[in-house]
Amino acid sequence: MENTQVQDMEEKGGEVISRHFIQREIDKDLKEGVYDHVCTRFPPEPNGYLHIGHAKSIILNSSLAKEYGGKFNLRFDDTNPTKEKQEFVESIKRDVEWLGADFGDRIYFASDYFDRMYEGAIKLIKKGKAYVSSLSAEQISATRGSFSEPGTDDPDRDRSIEDNLRLFESMKNGEVEDGAMVLRAKIDMASPNINMRDPVIYRVAHMSHHNTGDKWCIYPMYDYAHPVEDAIEGITHSICTLEFEDHRPLYDWVVRELEFENPPRQIEFAKLYLTNVVTGKRYIKKLVEDGTVDGWDDPRLVSIAALKRRGFTPEAIRMFIELSGISKSQASSDYAMLEYCVREDLKLKKPRLMAAIDPIKLVIDNYPEDQTEMLTIPNNLENEALGDRQVPFERELYIDRDDFMEEPPKKYYRLFVGNEVRLMNAYFVTCTGFEKDEDGRVGVVHCTYDPETKQGTGKEMPRKVKGTIHWVPAKEAVKATVRLYENLVDEEKGVYNEDGTMNINPDSVKVMDNCMIEPAIAGAKPYDAFQFVRQGFFNVDCHDSSDDNLVFNRIVSLKSSFKLPK
């Protein structure tokens, strides 16, 4: 991961505190009396589900408000009814709350301010700062010029204020067809910043809105609406991503010309880019609509809903955002670092249970058929506070298929005929033979046990063994379905082709529907998470799992090549 975070270091009580550039800018504004408080916001457009990139903005904005004792608003930029749905509004609320961003009762909508925005547009017209244009979108684009050439004036640029007021009123009253007229800000067609060349600030759209119904048939453009929303709400620092840096002069122009007192200040930071994953909202939407994934919260995606469903935690995502850093420089973070963070968060919190993902039966031929021992096993060797559990041990067990081989290679220390291993927290067993089913696959492994090797008795073991394997009692085992996930895209080919299509990995999920888990798993509820010994971290799927059929998603495997930068 490349991290070019710009930061200062300062000492507080002997502790060195890292300060990124946005914190330093806010510190300066408060010190100089530009603002006497801090108010931030997260302003999503409700046209899809949020993803991991949005999590950076949510966590940054809410954390800044909390750090300075200020307020954090959740505001929906719902100015485009053609793409917005109430479903997306509700999903965004859930995601922001789940990440721990405290917006209290401060949920706002851009549509709440449509009357104020309309009044602002009238004010601009009266000041000679806006005019109604009859050019089409294509004509406006053609006359805006280029980076090396100025734009050309709109033929309607010098309409009288009276005519502009009359035409804008007719647009509002539904007397103008979609696309026939727009309202443009009157700024500078020769500006070196193309965004300042008389941008469109209102369009006609005869569409029903999810919040205002059919009240409006004109809708403000984002570059006009956003600064008005910030100013009305008293936002002090409008924190946004770098693609809005060139729009900042227009942002400042709007709040200045509308004469807002103590206007907000826009500050830009670099987006979060993640390697080898699909993050673009429109690409995720396409995957959903094509049926490549089973919804916006498919565990193979990195939407916030998908990460939650898969078993990632808010704490892990916050750790990942912190490690990725806040910077002005574009950089990519490794997906492996996100996996590292969730491992770090879960390893001391969750019990470690035994599960045979692809089970075969292990029969201990010299163990009494009618005997069951209750073994006391710690729930987490690294966290004694999680206590112990009782696990039944008996003659017939399940082990993982990978823990037995007919013809083992060198340095294979698990079960094969003649080899002795330890059954985790139990006894030494020696493999004596095996049985195959009608398809020629090993179905049963036979062994004998040494009753003098019971673990936990305090006795010194009579000999050493190199291999330890986990097991599950056959009679009490809970059958479950387990989903093993790989990357949704083919990492070797990259995420996108030149034509914009995606390289989908056909083996991105493997379903194991005969997994056997020790009885302590019984009663597990959606989102409950566990470590399955040697297999990884898993959680109960919130959609497909039931009391009669537990379904687990593998959150992350135990092994990782990622190393935290020093």
Average pLDDT over residues 285-312: 94
- Contacts with 22 (C-beta within 8 Å, 6 or more apart), sequence order: 60, 64, 237, 239, 267, 269, 326
Q: How far from the centroid of its chain's Cα atoms is residue 417's Cα?
A: 47
pLDDT for position 210: 86
Q: Which two tokens stand for residue 361?
A: 């039966």
DSSP state letters, 7-76: EEEEEETTEEEEEEHHHHHHHHHHHTTS-SS-EEEE---SSS--BHHHHHHHHHHHHHHHHTT-EEEEEE
- What is the share, in percent, of the chain residues with pLDDT greater than 70? 95
- Contacts with 169 (C-beta within 8 Å, 6 or more apart), sequence order: none
The CA-based dihedral angle spanning residues 18, 22, 28, 30, taken in that order and rounded to the nearest 10 degrees? -100
Q: How far apart are CA 56 and CA 426, in angstroms?
A: 46
Q: Which two tokens stand for residue 497?
A: 């082709």
Edge to edge, the sheet with strand 130-133 lists 130-133, 182-185, 200-204, 218-220
Q: How far apart are CA 354 and CA 59, in angstroms?
A: 36
pTM: 0.91
Average pLDDT, the chain: 93
Average pLDDT over residues 478-504: 84
What are residue 335's DSSP bridge partners?
A: none
Domains of the chain: 35-274 (3.40.50.620), 357-464 (2.40.240.10)
pLDDT tens readout for residues 3-42: 444 445 555 555 546 789 999 999 999 999 999 999 999 9
Average pLDDT over residues 327-344: 91
Going by pLDDT thresholds of 50, 70 and 90, the confidence category of residue 116 is very high
pLDDT tens readout for residues 430-447: 999 999 999 999 999 999
Residue 28, number of CB atoms within 10 A of its CB: 10
